[in-house]
Amino acid sequence: MKAVLYIPNSPRPQMARAIRRLEQDVLRMGALVEKSFRLSHQALFARDLTAAEELPQLDKKIDRFYRQIESDCTAIMTMKAPTAQDLRCLSAFMQLVRDLERIGDYAEDLAEIAIKLFPYPPHTSLPEIAVMSHHAQAMLATSLVALADLDEAGGRSIKHLDDAVDSAYDRLYQTLAQQRDVSGVVEPIVLLALAIRCLERMADHATNIGQRVAYIVTGQRS
């Protein structure tokens, strides 16, 4: 099902345009979050410290979007006499940008982990963790496409994709926790355990975004 937030002949065109502008800002914020996720992946798995160094500035831009969108939503709620449907959309946007902001924070955490891991040899679990990261990135991309199209089915489908990330997390955690042939310091193991936790949480937030899109369209919470 595809819905449209802005209808040219709407009886309340000013409100429709304001909400449409908000949606576009959310998508712009989402594009920055996607970039931050890609950079964190590059830092962690390609050992690219230049990519890691880009994350703090990018995160500041994401945070500015977050604060602005939240402020705009509040202003519209209090000044433009929104309908129940408008309020549903605005409240979903406020929750959705919080999910995006958290994904951006986790991307920055992954970059910091990449910097700390850099002096150590690559761990044998890294290729499997990279697959987990690709899955989580695909979930984020799918959730943003669902938002752009207001696609209820696409938003709900992300929950099924989350199962693969959860399974990978459980499997990798057991591998890292039960590793017995550790020589020297255990810091790389601890850092990788933190990395897979970040990825698992990023996937959860992408799932939340998809569910919020479905709520915008249907008014029904999962």
CATH of the domain at 141: 1.20.58.220
CA–CA dist 167, 169 (Å, integer): 5
Domain contains 155: yes
**pLDDT of 37 over the 90 cut:** yes
Task: Give a yes or no: residue 7 inside a domain.
Answer: no
Helix (H, G, I), strand (E, B) or coil at 125: coil
What is the SS3 assignment for 211? helix
Which among 136, 134, 110 has a CA at the least distance from the CA of 55? Answer: 110
pLDDT in tens, 47-68: 999 999 999 999 999 999 999 9
Mean pLDDT of 212-218: 92
Tell me, what's the pLDDT at 222? Answer: 66
Residue 2 belongs to some domain of the structure: no
What pLDDT is attached to residue 11? 57
For the segment 123-170, what is each residue's pLDDT rounded down to a tens digit? Answer: 999 999 999 999 999 999 999 999 999 999 999 999 888 999 999 999
Tally the domains of the chain: 1
Q: Closest Cα to residue 100, out of 134, 71, 139, 74?
A: 139
* Structural contact between residues 76 and 20, judged by C-beta atoms closer than 8 angstroms: no
pTM of the model as a whole: 0.92
Domain membership flag for residue 142 = yes
Whether 107 is covered by a domain: the verdict is yes
Which of the two residues, 213 and 80, has the higher pLDDT score? Answer: 213
- Domain of 113, in residue numbers: 13-218
